[in-house]
Amino acid sequence: MSFFTEPLAFEFFRRALLAATLVGGLTGLVGVFVVLRRMSYIGHGMSHAVFGGAVVGYVAGINFYVAAGIWGFISALLINQTTRRQQIAADAAIGIVTTASFAVGVAIISRARSITQNFDAALFGNLLAVTETDLLVIAAVFTFTIIVVFFSYKQLLFLTFDPDVAPVYGVRAGWLDSLFALVLAATIIASIRIMGVTLIAASLVIPPVIARLVTDRFAYMLFVSTGLGALLGFFGLFMSYEFDIASGASIVLLSAAAFAAVLAVVLIREWTRTGRLSIGNRSIGSAEREAMLD
């Protein structure tokens, strides 16, 4: 029991535990849309872009959230404009804009080695770095995201499932895309202290993929992914303390183990049912229609 009771004696841990649970739930919720809209690479890229802004803000003495927020928003606009002109593919545009932004941060750190230590937390997550302000920001972003998803649920579902047709039925795709980009940027910025720049993408992807393995319904997937993300954040933080490893790394490792376990259960169940090692229609990232082509 000391695995659970010992760290709870510390205030910094209780604060970090709440933050990690909220961040896990938040990334699990937002991640459903990220994964189903094939935006995993954007999530990965945006987290790196935000790092550049965080470093510039630190050097210039600007509040972390303000600097990272403005930088992230500008990066998102640049990606959007580059891809909208259709001269450069979306993944290439993301690669250029976000790695250039990340490189700005690395270049500044290289010039001023004294600040390297402060950015370890931003890169890999550090439960010691969580402040009351961070907790408030995470809670505010989570609340905002829940409100957006709740009141835009039907439109978001339609736009995510059928982005070509949804606007034809009156769904305001441009407005919703911008709103979602804002939610994604806010989620990444709010999660950086716990997850770290390099590991946020995994927390956006793994819970929704596990949720997809266990449900065929979009609404259930939202609940399962959010709950699972929160649980993985909660237990991942205890692991972080117990094994003295970065919080982002422990949460991602626990998530990966959970994914492997659920995948194994699904595969065994399918094998006993059909005699084939398959996850049936529960894959993500493939839109082929074998059934139609039979």
Partner 1 sequence: MDDIIELRGLAAGYGATPVISGVDFRVQPGEFVGIVGPSGSGKTTLLRTLLGAVRIMGGSAHVDGKVVGRGSRPSVGYVPQLETIDWNFPVTVEEVVLMGRAMDSGIWPWPRKADRRQMMELLERLGIAAFRHTHIRNLSGGQQQRVFLARALIRSPRLLLLDEPTSGVDIKTRDDVLHLLVDLNRDGVTVLLSTHEINAVAAHLPRVLCINHGVIADGPPRDVFTPETLKRTYGGDMVVVHQNGLTLVADTPHIFDLEGRVLEHRHVSEDAAVR
Shortest Å distance, C-beta 175 to partner 1: 13
Q: Are 33 and 160 in contact (CB under 8 A)?
A: yes
Q: Does position 171 bind partner 1 by CB under 8 A? A: yes
Among 80, 83, 178, 215, binds partner 1 (CB under 8 A): 215
The Cβ of residue 126 has, within 10 Å, a number of other Cβ atoms equal to 18
Q: Does 259 bind partner 1 (CB under 8 A)?
A: no
Q: Which is nearer to partner 1, 178 or 215 (CB)?
A: 215
Asked whether position 217 contacts partner 1 by CB under 8 A, the answer is yes
**Residue whose structure tokens are 């509040």:** 63
Stretch that binds partner 1, among 1-9, 13-21, 192-200, 286-294 (CB under 8 A): 286-294
* Measured distance CA(200)–CA(50) in Å, rounded: 12
Residue closer to partner 1 (CB basis): 4 or 220: 220
| Selected binder of partner 1 within 99, 155, 178, 278 (CB under 8 A) | 155
Alpha carbons 139 and 145: distance in angstroms, whole number: 10
Q: Is 174 in the site for partner 1 (CB under 8 A)?
A: no
Name the DSSP letter for residue 245.
-
Q: Does 87 bind partner 1 (CB under 8 A)?
A: no
> What are the structure tokens assigned to 283, written together?
């894959």
Q: Which is nearer to partner 1, 277 or 287 (CB)?
A: 287
User: Does 131 interact with partner 1 (rule: CB under 8 A)?
Assistant: no
Helix axes 11-36, 153-161, angle to 10 degrees: 50
Q: Is the CB of 86 or the CB of 272 nearer to partner 1? A: 86
175 touches partner 1 by CB under 8 A: no
Question: Which residue in the set 11, 111, 170, 174 belongs to the binding site for partner 1 (CB under 8 A)?
Answer: 170
Whether the CB-CB separation of 269 and 278 falls below 8 Å is answered with no
Is 254 within 8 Å of 232 (Cβ atoms)?
yes
Closest CA to 23 of 183, 181, 178, 226: 226
Least CB distance from residue 158 to partner 1, whole Å?
A: 4
Query: Within 10 Å of residue 255's Cβ, how many Cβ atoms?
Result: 28
Gap between the Cα atoms of 227 and 232, Å rounded: 9
Q: Give the binding site for partner 1 (CB under 8 A).
A: 36, 86, 150-151, 153-155, 157-158, 160-162, 164-171, 212, 215-221, 281-289, 291-293
